[in-house]
Amino acid sequence: MTDTFAAGLLPEEYQDLIKSVRDFAQTVVAPVAAEHDANHTFPYKVIEGMGDMGLFGLPFPEEFGGMGGDYFALCLALEELGKIDQSVAMTLEAGVSLGAMPIYRFGNDAQKQEWLPQLTSGKALAGFGLTEPGGGSDAGATKTTARLDSEEWIINGSKQFITNTGTDISRLVTATAVTGTLEGGHKEISSILVPTGTPGYTVEPAYNKVGWNASDTHPLTFQDVRVPEENLLGERGRGYANFLQILDEGRIAISAVGAGVAQGCVDECVKYAKEREAFGKTIGRYQAIAFKIARMEVRAHVARTAYYDAAALMLAGKPFKKQASIAKIVSSEAAMDNARDATQIFGGYGFMNEYPVARHYRDSKILEIGEGTTEVQLMLIARDAGL
C-alpha cells in the first residue's frame, strides 16, 4: 500500500473520489468562497452538499451511516477542498477527525448509535473540547473539572478555539475535564459528551480571526453543567490519552489540507503566469517566475508524499506518530511558503482579498499552529529519535 501511494498509482475508487470532490470544489465551493470569507458567514449550503455526497461519513462503517471507506479517502477529499477554500476543508476535517472520530473510537454502542448517524450525514457537527485559555500546547494542564453528583457529571471551566460549536447544526462537544487525582498527585483527565443546549453550557461569541473566516470557532464556558454519568466517553481517566491519539490521526488530515493549499497556490500561479503580460511577454516566460513556481510545485509534491506515507502506515496498523508529525510540518510550511510566493507573483492583485492566493496567505498561518504547533511536532520527532 505504501509503495502504491508513493507512486501515485491510486486505486480507481480513490481516483473517482478525487474527481468528484474536485468538481464539487470548483463548481460549488469556489463561486461563494470570497463572499463567505468577506462576510464571515458559515457556508451552510456548501456543507449540506458535502453531506449529500457522503464526505462526512467517508471513514465510517455503513452501520453508522458512513460510506465504508477509510481515513485516506477523507484525506484525499480534504486535499481537493483545501486547494479552493481552507474554511470549508477545515469544517470537514474538524467535523470528522475531531468531532465524530472520538465517538467512533472510544464511544460505547449507545453513544455511537445516538450520535454517529447524525454526524456522518453532515446534518450535525460536534466540537473537540481540548484547548483551554491556560493550556494550548500544554494540553495536560486542563483546569476544567467534572465531579459526580447523584449519577450526573457537574462540569465547570472553559475551552477556547473550538471549531464547529456555534453553528445551527452544532449538536455537541466532547470536552476533557479533570475528574479526580491519580497516585502521585497527577490529574485524572476524562472526556465527557456535552450536548448543545445543556443548561450552563455557553457558546461565547465567535472570534474575529485573521483567516478561516467561514469556519466556525468559539470559546466555550461550562458553569455547573449537568450531564448524565453515562455521557462519559471512553474509560474514566483516559480522556487525555485518547484525545492525543485523535490528534495523531488528525495531523494526517490537516496535512492533507496543507498539501491541497500548496497545490492550489501552484495551480493559481500557473494560470496567472500564462495570462499576465509584462514587458511584452507573459510573466511565465521569465525564469524568475518560472523557477519560483517550480519550487512551489516541489513543496506541494513533498507535502503530498509525506501525508500519503503517514496515512499508509496508519491504515496498515503500523506506528505513524513520527510520520504524522513530519507530514504536519512539511505540509504546513509548504502551504505558508507557497501562499507567500503566490502573493508575490500576483503582485498587487495578490493583496486583494477576493483572489484565492490572498485568502490562502491569511489562512495558511494557522496550519503551523492548530492541532499541534510546529514546535510540538519537532519535540515529538526529537523524542522519537531518543533525544
Q: Which residues are catalytic?
A: 371
Cα pseudo-dihedral 339, 341, 343, 344, rounded to 10: 170
Strands (E), 92-134: 125-129
Q: Which three cell numbers stand for residue 222?
A: 461550562
CA 318 – CA 233 distance, rounded (Å): 25
Beta bridge partners of 344: none
Beta bridge partners of 195: 172
User: Is the dihedral angle over the CA atoms 327, 330, 336, 338 positive or is it negative?
Assistant: negative
CA 121 – CA 48 distance, rounded (Å): 9
Residue count of the chain? 387
Give which of 307, 149, 146, 301 is closest to 239, Cα–Cα: 146
Q: Which DSSP letter does residue 135 get? A: B
CA distance to 22, 77, 103, 134, 285, per residue, from 74 (Å): 13, 5, 17, 32, 37
